[in-house]
Amino acid sequence: MSARRGFYVAIDGVDGCGKTTQAALLCRWLEGGFAEVLHVREPGSTPVAEVLRRLLLSPETGTLDATTEALLFSAARRELVERTIAPALARGAAVVSERCFASTWAYQCVASEPPADAISFRAATAAAHQHARPDLLALLDVPARLAVARIGRRPLDRIEARGVDYQARVAAAYREVAAPGGWAAELLGPDAIASIDASGTPESVWRSLRARVAQRLDALGVEHDRLELT
């Protein structure tokens, strides 16, 4: 099979919820059905967006205003979507992104105190996704304490260092993003958002994720007959 159109999945959720683990499994699986699979992470995956990533995640950056942060994350997103993701989709590639605009909403617009300006964020998100939007936003839902425990003892980046109460507010904000009728459903369409219980083993999370991805491929009419469903 050669894919008739591209397919763009974003995997999001609190630090340590399992995004990188599941993105790797998803990419390997999609390689069975797409000639090109692109694995990207936000912020980053272009030279300028990686510079913004270092700035945003380095503890040396210190405190930033939440709206400034939201706009910097959105600028990195615009750069990645415009220069890398949209052209890949036009070639018929499958794109798997670790994080997306839902992160900026949860961390900067809800969990930060004071929060980022939501109107500026929504305008910047519209700009970032002017030419491509995720076909599926998979939100990995785990209690913040479990996610923090999974991260273990590695050095924390500037945002992870904000602590477990902040992470709990972030996790709650993601649940709002997943709620039907919210603005994310307005942006992507109600069937494009999947909340996945990510508290089980990596294998059980992967089975749930794969089922939702297959369902979405079906709904969009993307052929995926060579992708194993069992």
Ligand X SMILES: Nc1ncnc2c1ncn2[C@@H]1O[C@H](COP(=O)(O)OP(=O)(O)OP(=O)(O)O)[C@@H](O)[C@H]1O
Query: Applying CB under 5 A, which residues contact Mg ion?
Result: 19-20
Looking at the DSSP bridge assignments, the partners of residue 39 are 96
Position among 9, 178, 205, 227 found at the interface with ligand X (CB under 6 A)? 205
Rounded least distance, CB 183 to ligand X, Å: 23
Q: Which stretch binds ligand X (CB under 6 A): 55-63, 169-177, 178-186, 197-205?
A: 197-205
Q: Tell me the Ramachandran region of residue 129: left when phi exceeds 0, alpha when psi lies from -120 to 50, beta otherwise.
A: alpha
Per partner kind, with CB cut-offs from 5 to 8 A, the member of ligand X, Mg ion, none near residue 94 is: none
Q: Is 127 left (phi over 0), alpha (psi -120 to 50) or beta?
A: alpha
Which member of 8, 9, 16, 110 binds ligand X (CB under 6 A)?
16
Give just the sign of the alpha carbon dihedral 104, 163, 47, 19. negative
- Whichever of 27 and 118 has its CB closer to ligand X, that residue is 27
Tell me: does residue 201 bind ligand X (CB under 6 A): yes
Which of ligand X, Mg ion, none interacts with 21 (beta carbon under 5 to 8 A by kind)? ligand X
Query: Cβ–Cβ contacts within 10 Å for residue 229, how many?
Result: 9
Residues whose CB is less than 8 angstroms from the CB of residue 145 and which lie 6 or more positions away in sequence, other chains included: 164, 168
For Mg ion, the closer of residues 19 and 210 by Cβ is: 19
Taking CB under 6 A as the rule, does residue 44 contact ligand X? no
Q: 69 is in the binding site of which of ligand X, Mg ion, none (Cβ under 5 to 8 A by kind)?
A: none
Under rule CB under 6 A, residue 111 binds ligand X? no
Does position 110 bind ligand X by CB under 6 A? no
Rounded distance, CA 6 to CA 25, Å? 18
**Residue 181 near residue 199, CB atoms below 8 Å:** no
Sequence-separated (6 or more) residues with CB below 8 Å from residue 157: 57, 58, 59
DSSP assignments along 99-161, one per residue? --HHHHIIIIIIISSSPPPHHHHHHHHHHHTSS---SEEEEEE--HHHHHHHHTTSPP-TTGG
Q: Can you tell me which of 20, 58, 68, 130 binds ligand X, judged by CB under 6 A?
A: 20
39 binds ligand X (CB under 6 A): no
Q: Is 134 in the site for ligand X (CB under 6 A)?
A: no
Instruction: Say which residue the tokens 């990510």 belong to.
Output: 198
The site partner of 205 among Mg ion, ligand X, none (C-beta below 5 to 8 Å per kind) is: ligand X
Residue 162 engages ligand X in binding (rule: CB under 6 A)? no
Name the residues that contact ligand X, by CB under 6 A. Answer: 15-21, 150-151, 201-202, 205
